[in-house]
Structure 1
Amino acid sequence: MRIDEYYRILRRHWKIIVAATLAAIAVMFVWDLFQPKVYQASSSGFVTAGQPQNLSEAAFGDQLAKSRATSYVDVAQSRAVAQQVIDDLNLQTTPAALINQISVDQPTNTVLLRISANASSPEQAQAIANAWVKALAAQVAKIEGSGANSLRINVQDPAQLPSSPISPNTKLDLIIAGIVGLLGGIGLAMLRSQMDGRLRDPNKVREQFGVPVLGSVPQNAQLSKSERTIPIVVGEGVRTDTEGLVTAEAFLKMRTSLQYMNVDRTLRVIVVSSPNPDDGKSTVAANIAASVALSGEKTLLVDADLRRPSIATGFGLLDGAGLAEVLAHRVDLADVLQDAPETPNLSVLAAGLTPPNPSEMLGSKAMKTLLDDLAKEYFVVIDAPPLLPVTDAAILGTQVDGVVVVICAGKTLDHQLETSLRSLHEVHADVLGVVMNKLSQRDMQSYYGSGYGTYYGRDLDPPARSARERSVRRQRSKN
């Protein structure tokens, strides 16, 4: 997996990462609230060997004190010292429990003994630390005797009242929790990406399924504003805002891809289908047909979805008779062809009345003959039923020059596309490629580079936008 793919995964699932981080911090904060506070106070004493009379006695006493200080660490942790502290402070505990609250440290090559006491209140921690040094001094005096040259322990630094607890260390705990939550969130994002079969990346579609990606249609409010109309974003009625321009260019790119798809033969009849009913195949088919018509070539859009027709209604045309009646030899083709509104060179053949045997009609010799005749005069774009529910599109795929499969970005699953392509390959239909519909603006910029970001408004200044619109208008007038 490339670095840019990791970046896209993290960018797509940033909410999971943020939620996991905040959740970890919140859990740790609540946990710390219910943890008992522990305060620590430290006092120290030093070991002396009486009053030396000369330098040699002082040197000998210092070495003796350092040697014995190591042994006094064990004395400081003895039950006798602990019991004396309990008696002095009138504590309600046992020597073994009190020893667990104490740590004794003797810095290397020194005569110092450092006592650290932990307690639930700062006052008690201070009192235990100070009392412990005194109790240790008394215990050493019992062991060494009370002579003038005997070893003894003097208080070096009394314990100070601690200002804050050492546990829980809320600041450190929250930092650690944040890091753990962040890593956990990233792990969840990666796991969800691996388990998520929804297709979003045109590059992944190309690599995983081995089919060309003819183009990607960005999310467009005009394309999805109504379920009963089919908006055309290319041609005379195209919107001139940035969103409309980007969408129009996506369909013009598909037209160019189809024109140069195969240099050995010219495509004349194509089928547009999709795995599922709501992937936007009818809108894509209509706009591909309008894009071809915009180049000046006579184009025919055929509604071959005899089960749930939508083309005639989407264009606001009559749907009383159409393809079904032509195949049944009830009407002549010329009598049911209709001109698409505001789209020169584009004609529409409606589906007509729903027959009882759609699959048989679409796979009949009459359908093949009709398509051959239409191909002599028109570039034919057929809007076929979805591939997964019925076999109509696969049957049509055997009678045309190729099939275009429309998938919905972030909705179509990988196994759905795989099944759809398999159904076409099994009947030896020629799959021209895949169109990724409703690709988000974020993914559009991510996959195609920051240059596409200029189409999305903020960094496209008015002079640049006006120049772009004038260029599109000039191209239309030439066509």
Structure 2
Amino acid sequence: MELSEYLRVLRAHWIGVLLLTILGTAGAGAYTLTQPKIYAANANGVVTVASEATTDPAVGINNDTLAKSKAVSYVEIATGRAVAQRVIDDLGLQTDPAGLIGDISVTQPLNTTLLKITARASSPKLAQQLADAWVKATAAEVKEIENPNDDIPNAVYVAPIESAELPSTPVSPNPPRNLGIGFVLGLLLGIAYAVVRSRLDQRLRSSTDFDKEFGVSVVGRVPAIKQLDDGENNGPAVLAVSKSSGSAGWEPGEAFRKLRTSIAYMDVDNPPRIIVVTSPQPNDGKSTTAANLAAAIAISGQAVTLVDGDLRRPSVADGFGLVEGAGLTDVLIGRVTLNDVLQDSPDFEGLTVLAAGSIPPNPSELLGSRAMHSLVQELARDGMVIIDAPPLLPVTDAAILARECDGAIVVLSHGRTVRQELQDALNSIFSVKGRVLGLVVNRVPRRESGTGYYTGYYATSTVPEGVGSKAARKGRRVSR
């Protein structure tokens, strides 16, 4: 993973990372509070050779070399059971030598004759007493080994030279160190959680590389706002969002205008005129996207017909406040003519709506019929046609429509649609030789929508006028 991908993963799962970091730091704090306080005191002794005073430098050098060599071996003596027993007897402690040795450390700095003794205890006083007593016990043990009868000339012995000071602060636990370790461990655990979660999480987001994974480009990203998140039937949202002028409070309106522009420039020589809008699952926002896209096209000055091709859960007419009674199905079975059921949108000049009509028992057969093909071709002669189709996974209606049209736009939900759902939806279109024009990512969090910079940029942009004029279609429309 590259650094940018790590940053994306951390941003996507920052709450989990933050919680684990806090838990790691809090755990370290709790551990610190439960640990007993340990104090340390230091006392020093020096190894020296008892000899008569002399001015001969060679004697001094020899004595110093002997003392240094002895000091190395005295480290083992100082940490032995015999010294520990002497300290126990001296201080009257209720412990065993093996347990007491674990509280003592003895070091001999390189090229010196010093023995540095550090004693640790649960109280400052006991630590001081242990350090001083240990130096004295070491000196006594060395004397007993080297010169038990005080009759050996040039004998080597240990002399205490520095008593231990009373420690004022404990050496353990160390709150800053423990909290720092807890913070780092919590942060690392949080990063690991985010990486694993991103690998296992199959939900799609706006930052997904759709071109690389699915071979289909993203042609639109719609920010998440309450008006667009109330289900498929969003009449008030359609009117408000599509009529917005690109102000900071209405980024979705700008998103649909950008989607309109993207479609207009998909193929300059042969731009798509009959477009199916669908989604993998219900409630992904395909009906709202279709309605807003049609409204955005109408605002640009191009004639457009919005057809409710969802013959199972129709919602287009109700969303625009139009009559639902008769519509597409009635035209297909020859009950009425197209002129009888086309309705002008009262809010968008140039936008005509063809409602779904009566719900039939065989939607797939009707949508795949020659009558349907002829109908959309007739509508396309006068302008663009946007068909709101059912979801791809539950039924095959949208795939059938996509085969007969110029292509399909697939709407997916940011953070809800999973990879396999989108792949299966695309495969259902590809399997019938249909064309996917692009993807629209719906409900994108505002921090990821990227619309703020472009707010108002396309507000005055227009799409070239389609074939046919509004006047030519006026005679075929009826008001509600």
Q: Same fold (TM over 0.5)?
A: yes
Matching residue within 423, 428, 431 for 2:436: 431
CA contact (8 A) 1:199 1:412 kept: yes
Tell me whether 1:45 sits opposite 2:51 in the alignment. Answer: no
From 294, 312, 327, the counterpart of 2:317: 312
Is residue 229 from structure 1 mapped to residue 234 from structure 2 by the alignment?
yes
Report the equivalent of 2:126.
124
Q: 1:236 to 1:387 in 2, by over 3 A?
A: closer
Answering whether residue 336 of structure 2 is matched by residue 334 of structure 1, we say no
Alignment partner of 1:138 out of 131, 137, 140: 140
Distance in 1 separating the partners of 2:2 and 2:11: 14
- Name the CA shift for 1:66/1:6 in 2 (closer, same or farther; >3 Å): closer
Greater shift, 369-378 or 336-345, is seen at 369-378
- Distance (whole Å) between structure 2 residues aligned to residue 338 and residue 228 of structure 1: 18
Tell me the distance in 2 between the aligned counterparts of 1:265 and 1:108. 87
Looking at structure 1, the residues matched to 272 and 63 of structure 2 have their Cα atoms a distance apart, in angstroms, of: 106
Which amino acid is the alignment partner of residue 131 of structure 2? A
Match of 1:96 in 2: 98
Tell me if the contact between 1:405 and 1:434 (Cα under 8 Å) persists in the aligned partners: yes
Deviation per CA, 1:191-210, whole angstroms, max 9, x where unpaired?
11111111113561122111
Whether 1:375 aligns to 2:380 is: yes
2:7 corresponds to which letter in structure 1? Y
Structure 2: which amino acid aligns with 1:114?
K
In structure 1, the residue matched to 2:31 is 31
Partner of 2:249: 243
Deviations 1:90-129 (A, max 9, x none): 1111122222222211222222111111222222111111
**Who is 1:462 aligned against?**
none
1:239 and 1:294, CA in 2 relative to 1: closer, same or farther beyond 3 A? Answer: closer
CA distance in 2, matches of 1:390, 1:252: 30
Report deviation, 1:316: 0.9
Q: Which amino acid aligns with 2:124?
A: P
Cα deviation, residue 332, structure 1: 1.7
User: Helix, strand or coil: the match of 1:167?
Assistant: coil
**AA of the residue aligned to 1:436:** V
Q: Which residue is equivalent to 2:14?
A: 14
Q: State the distance in 2 between where 1:79 and 1:236 align.
A: 89
Name stretches of at least 5 consecutive residues in structure 1 with no aligned partner: 446-451, 457-467
Cα 1:202–1:329 shift into 2, 3 Å:
farther
Following superposition, the deviation at residue 43 of structure 1 comes to 0.6
Residues 242 and 455 of structure 1 are in contact (CA less than 8 Å); yes or no, is this contact kept in structure 2? no
AA at the equivalent of 1:377: D
**Amino acid corresponding to residue 122 of structure 1 in structure 2:** P
The separation in 1 between residues aligned to 2:272 and 2:281, in whole angstroms, is 25
Q: Structure 1 203/103 Cα, relative in aligned 2: closer, same or farther at 3 Å?
A: closer
1:318 CA drift (Å):
1.1
Deviations 1:227-257, CA, capped at 9 Å, x for gaps: 643333689832553132x323322222222
CA distance in structure 2 between the partners assigned to 1:45 and 1:266 by the alignment? 94
Tell me: CA distance 1:2–1:154, structure 2 relative to 1, closer, same or farther (3 Å).
Answer: closer
Mark the runs of 5 or more structure 2 residues left unpaired by the alignment. Answer: 467-480
In structure 2, the partner of 1:421 is 426
1:16 counterpart SS class:
helix
Question: C-alpha separation between the residues in 2 aligned to 1:212 and 1:134?
Answer: 83
- Taking the aligned partners of 1:236 and 1:247, their CA distance within structure 2 comes to 8
Which residue of 169, 178, 199 corresponds with 1:194? Answer: 199
Q: Distance in 2 between matches of 1:233 and 1:208?
A: 35
- Provide the identity percentage: 48
How many pairs does the alignment contain? 459
CA contact (8 A) 1:115 1:133 kept: yes
- Residue 139 of structure 1 aligns with an amino acid whose one-letter code is E
- CA drift at 1:59: 4.0
Contact map agreement 2:245 2:459 (CA 8 A) in 1: no
Could you tell me which residue of structure 2 aligns to residue 465 of structure 1?
none
C-alpha distance in structure 2 between counterparts of 1:135 and 1:2, whole Å: 61
CA, structure 1 residues 275+419, in 2 after alignment: closer, same or farther (shift >3 Å)?
same
1:338-377 to 2 correspondences below 5 Å = 338-377=343-382
- Alignment partners' CA distance in 2, 1:200 and 1:378: 34
Flag the 1:80–1:202 CA change in 2: closer, same or farther, 3 A.
Answer: closer
1:70 paired residue number: 72
What residue identity is the alignment partner of 2:125? E
The answer to which of 199-208 and 99-108 deviates more is 199-208
Is this contact kept in 2: 1:235–1:294, CA < 8 A?
Answer: no
Q: 1:474 to 1:92 in 2, by over 3 A?
A: closer
Is 1:81 aligned to 2:83, yes or no? yes
What is the CA–CA distance in structure 1 between the aligned matches of 2:308 and 2:112, rounded to whole Å?
Answer: 96
What is the match of residue 322 of structure 1? 327
- Alpha-carbon spacing, 1:472–1:425, altered in 2? closer, same or farther (3 Å): closer
What is the distance in 2 between the residues matched to 1:187 and 1:171? Answer: 24
Give yes or no for contact 1:235–1:343 (8 Å, CA) kept in 2.
Answer: no
C-alpha separation between the residues in 1 aligned to 2:97 and 2:122?
A: 17
CA distance in 2, matches of 1:115, 1:266: 88
- 1:107 maps to 2:109: yes
SS of alignment partner, residue 209 of structure 2: helix
In the alignment, what sits opposite 2:287?
282
Q: How far did 1:179 drift?
A: 1.0
Q: Deviations over 1:371-419 (max 9, x none)?
A: 2222222311100001111111011112111111111112111111100
Correspondence for 2:448:
443
Query: For 1:57-88, what per-residue CA distance to the aligned partner results, in whole angstroms no more than 9, with x for missing partners?
Result: 44443333223222222221222221111111
Assess, with a 3 A threshold, how the Cα gap between structure 1 residues 67 and 267 changes in structure 2: closer, same or farther: closer
Q: Which residue number corresponds to residue 460 of structure 1?
A: none
The one-letter code sitting in structure 2 at the alignment partner of 1:27 is: G
Between the aligned partners of 1:106 and 1:190, the Cα distance in structure 2 is 48
With the length of structure 1 as denominator, give the TM-score of the two structures.
0.89
Query: Whole-Å Cα distance in 1 between the matches of residues 81 and 43 of structure 2?
Result: 19
Residue 389 (structure 1) aligns with = 394
Distance 2:256 2:454 in 1: 15
Distance 2:42 2:32 in 1: 24
Q: Shift of residue 225 of structure 1? A: 5.9
